Structure formats: structure tokens, C-alpha cells
Amino acid sequence: MNLPEHVTLIEVGPRDGLQNEKNEIPTDVKIQFIKELKKAGFKEMELTSFVSPKWVPQLKDALDIIQYCTDEHRNLVLTPNEKGVMRAKEAKCRDVAFFVGVSESFNLKNINSTTKESMDKLLPLIRELKEDGFFVRACISTAFYCPYEGKIHPDAVLDICQQFADAGVDDLSVADTIGMANPLEVYELFSRLKAQFPDMLLTAHFHDTRGMALANIYAALQAGVDRFDTSAGGLGGCPFAPGATGNAATEDVLHMLKALNIETGIDMNQLLKAVEVIEPHLAGAIQSKQHQLNKQEKAVN
């Protein structure tokens, strides 16, 4: 088995996890959730997004989140455009993530631009941020399937990643937005990405709509990927990708990685405490296996 000794888990629960949540979560609860997650040992986290509050009302408190939650670690904020970058700079963020859909139809629904229009606007912003010493991540959505266009050709994904790489991004986070990919497709795409970008941070981002996220993570590990976006409690989904459910649950991924003797530096008990902080505020119950087992164990003792 080709497995790494260490994997970095990038916690995206506070951003991807909450952006699609029906209940309005109080800002102080979000802050407590993030603080408990940080205690579990995450060194990279997507905290929130500087997007239009009309499009994603749940994240309208982004500035407060940044003010109370940034520390010496990598605290990523998503930005869709120049205004988002301006807000991120005003908030003194140093770690910025852009997002674009390989699929034109998805990109139009998500950020109201064609993929080319987005790239034409984002690439100069990325170059500027890199000159100013920012950490820049590029999130590539619909890298396998699009809810509107169906199967996406891997060549199109590699082409967009190359444009981001040429602009100087530090990290490519390549996403199965609607959880339709299978391990064969994952192995093929990530093997090609690893070969084309051997010196780049390469992250895999799986939604678990069809229960394939763990299998896909295992396939990505085999392809040499050692960074994964995961979401505490398995929360998540994009409001503009119909049918997409939550991300791979961090605690279930952690359980698998531990069983494979892969180090992450994350404390399971503390992670489960963070999940307990957010659960009472959600519209639905958390379904992750580790959280369910933890609850059962507590009920017995």
C-alpha cells in the first residue's frame, strides 16, 4: 500500500460546513466552535467567506469571526472577487482562498460569471496577493461532475489548475462538489495532478453525498495526496450545487487515518467536543459515525 506517514487535515466546517445551514447560527457559537476545533490541533482552517451577504447570509458575520478567531496558524477566508479581497485585507487576513467552477454552468450559478470571466479577474488579484506575501489557495469546484453539465473532463481541470499554478498559488484544493466521483476517477485525476504539479500543495475536497468520501480519500492517498479538506460533523454543501450534501466528516476521516497508522496531530476527543458545541444549533442531527458512537457510549455510561 502506498500511504503517507503524515496527513494534513484542513478543517472547513466553519466555512463550507455552515454556509449551507438553514438555521441562523449565532456568531458567538461559531466562534466557540472554531476555538474548540483549534484546541483539537488544526493548523489550517477555512474560517469564513467574504462573499455577498445577499448570496450567503449565514456568513454575513465574517468580519467578527476573523477578529476573534485568527491566530498564528493558517486561517483561510474565501473571496470571490476584488471586493472580497479588499474586505479580507481590511480584516488583516493573510491567507486567502479563491474558488472557481470548472463547469461554466455551475460557476454562473455560484458567482454569476463564466469560468473564463472569473479566471480573467482572479489571476491578476492572485499575482498581486503573492507579491504582497499572502498565502493563496485555489479551490477548484466541479472537478469530477457538475449538477448541470454532468461529467467533467480531467483535461479541463488540469488546464484551470495550470493557470492558477502559473499565477503563483500555493495550494490547489480540487473538489468533488456534489459527491459523485468514484475511487477510479479520483485515482486517475489526482495521479495526473501530482505528476503535473509535483511541488505544489495539493488538497482533495470530497462531499459525501453518496457515501463515497472515505473510499475516495483512500484512492487519493494511493495517488500520493496527503492533504484533505474535511468538515467536523460532516457538515457542508454549496447553496448553488443542488443535491450536494456535507463534506467528509473530519472525525470519520481521522478514525480511518488512525487505523492506517497515519499521523495528523488531531485529538479525536477534543474534535468530538467541538462537534457537540455546534450540533444543538443545527436544523438537523449530525450523522457521522464517530459522533454517533460517542453519543451511544455516553448514554451507556
d(CA 116, CA 100): 10
Of residues 57-116, those binding ligand HMG (CB under 6 A): 78, 80-81, 83-84, 87, 99, 110-112
- Specify whether 238 is catalytic: yes
Q: 3-class SS at 219?
A: helix
> Per-residue b/e over 75-103, b at no fewer than 16 CB within 10 Å?
bbbbbbbeebbebbbebebbbbbbbbbbb
Task: Please report how close the Cβ of residue 151 comes to ligand HMG at its closest, in angstroms.
Answer: 15
Of the two residues 79 and 288, which places its CB atom closer to ligand HMG in the complex?
79
d(CA 161, CA 297): 44
Question: Interface with ligand HMG includes 49 (CB under 6 A)?
Answer: yes
DSSP string for 176-214: ETTS---HHHHHHHHHHHHHH-TTSEEEEEEB-TTS-HH
Question: Interface with ligand HMG includes 217 (CB under 6 A)?
Answer: no
DSSP bridge partners of 206: 176
Q: Which does 112 bind (CB under 5 to 8 A by kind): Mg ion, ligand HMG, none?
A: ligand HMG
Of the two residues 245 and 294, which places its CB atom closer to ligand HMG in the complex?
245
User: Cα angle at 74 between 73 and 80, to 5 degrees?
Assistant: 155
Q: Which of 9, 13, 16, 145 binds Mg ion (CB under 5 A)?
A: 16
Of the two residues 32 and 52, which places its CB atom closer to ligand HMG in the complex?
52
Sequence-ordered list of residues with C-beta below 8 angstroms from that of 209, at least 6 positions apart, any chain: 178, 179, 180, 243, 244, 245
Of the two residues 99 and 135, which places its CB atom closer to ligand HMG in the complex?
99
Q: Which does 80 bind (CB under 5 to 8 A by kind): ligand HMG, Mg ion, none?
A: ligand HMG
Residues marked active site are found at 238
Which residues of the chain form contacts with ligand HMG (CB under 6 A)? 16, 19, 49-52, 54-56, 78, 80-81, 83-84, 87, 99, 110-112, 139, 141, 175, 177, 205, 207, 238, 240
